């Protein structure tokens, strides 16, 4: 199995950054909706809305870690190419 070229790493990093951006926007929307519900005195709705962060935040962390791994793998690949 061949190792992806650096441009492939850049493409993968960009795709994961896009996914992270969308998940973080989703988290922001949940937090904002929850905040507005609480301001309207709808505590159950506020808590019910924010509970979805239990799913979204771990996805954000996984995407973040994937981006770092891809970046570090790219650096490792480039160093191996220099020494070959």
In total, the chain counts a number of residues equal to 84
pLDDT at 17: 98
Q: Is the pLDDT of residue 43 over 80?
A: yes
The torsion of the CA quartet 65, 67, 68, 71, rounded to 10 degrees, works out to 160
User: How many CB atoms are closer than 10 A to CB 63?
Assistant: 20
Q: Is the pLDDT of residue 74 over 90?
A: no
Give the model confidence (pLDDT) of 45-69 as tens digits. Answer: 999 999 999 999 999 999 999 999 9
pLDDT band at 13 (very low <50, low <70, confident <90, very high): very high
Look-up: residue for tokens 């937090």? 31
Q: Is the pLDDT of residue 2 over 90?
A: no
Q: Is the pLDDT of residue 21 over 90?
A: yes
Q: What is the DSSP letter of 33?
A: H
């Amino acid at each position: 199995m061949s190792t992806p070229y650096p441009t492939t790493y850049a493409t993968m990093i960009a795709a994961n950054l896009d996914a992270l951006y969308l998940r973080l926007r989703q988290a922001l929307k949940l937090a904002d909706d929850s905040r507005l519900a609480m301001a309207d005195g709808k505590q159950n709705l506020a808590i019910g809305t924010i509970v979805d962060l239990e799913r979204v935040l771990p996805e954000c962390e996984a995407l973040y870690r994937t981006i770092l791994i891809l970046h570090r793998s790219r650096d490792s690949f480039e160093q191996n190419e220099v020494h070959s």
